[in-house]
Chains A and B, each alone.
Chain A
Amino acid sequence: NAGVTQTPKFQVLKTGQSMTLQCAQDMNHNSMYWYRQDPGMGLRLIYYSASEGTTDKGEVPNGYNVSRLNKREFSLRLESAAPSQTSVYFCASSAGQGVEAFFGQGTRLTVV
């Protein structure tokens, strides 16, 4: 009964380093999302995937890339981390548009 699983939970990077945040869901959902949460702001959409094989930019895509590896997995990659990317990242999934979304536990990323 895992739902949406994100790894890692915490990460510290140096400026310029790269890393991939992993997300997997076991609910057979078509749609998956990556959000970032910053203090004093609502969650903002980075990228989403409406179905396997498709990805689209959200509100704040610059500095990120994504891969929908299969129906279960949706990864977020930072090619060259910057301090402005210090944030809490959430992966979410839903069966489709306009239905309940399920969120992972979040990844707290610090870029120094």
Chain B
Amino acid sequence: KNEVEQSPQNLTAQEGEFITINCSYSVGISALHWLQQHPGGGIVSLFMLSSGKKKHGRLIATINIQEKHSSLHITASHPRDSAVYICAVRSVAGSQGNLIFGKGTKLSVKP
């Protein structure tokens, strides 16, 4: 079983829809990251959080440490939001260097 599970694997939405991507993990963590990978391949860090909620523009990330679950929300989605969204956790038990990555959620927003 993967230590970081994302759902859904693929998501198609219409422009303007509210989108939620989920991430569940099975290890104790010190931080959770949400990353965005555009079709060109580059990876950009969106959020790093260890508790509560963070907001940046139309993106909101929440984490529930007790339930070992995080969500990434996109409000008023736009075609430029089309990308793969990756959840990654830094395990408290892991080696210093290692983030554990989910497989990603591929989002396609149609105009």
Contacts and interface: CB of A to CB of B under 8 A. Distances in A.
Given A43-B101, A101-B33, A50 B43 contact: no
Nearest to A59: B98
Interface string A77-112: 000000000001010100001111111111010000
A48 B102 CA distance: 19
B102 A98 contact: no
Contacts of B4: 42
Contacts of A31: 97
Q: How many interface residues does chain A have, given as a range?
A: 20 to 34
A97 B33 CA distance: 13
A56 interface: yes
Nearest to A40: B103
Q: How many interface residues does chain B have, given as a range?
A: 20 to 34
A49 to B, nearest CB: 8
Contact of A103 (B31, B42, B48, B97): B42
Contacts of A56: 95-97
B103 A102 contact: no
Given A98-B30, A103-B45, A42 B86 contact: yes
Contacts of A105: 40-42
Contacts of A99: 48
A6 B41 CA distance: 12
Interface of A: 31, 33, 40-45, 48, 50, 56, 58-59, 88, 90, 92, 97-106, 108
Given A103-B35, A105-B41, 7 more contacts: A41-B103, A42-B4, A42-B88, A43-B88, A88-B41, A101-B45, A103-B44
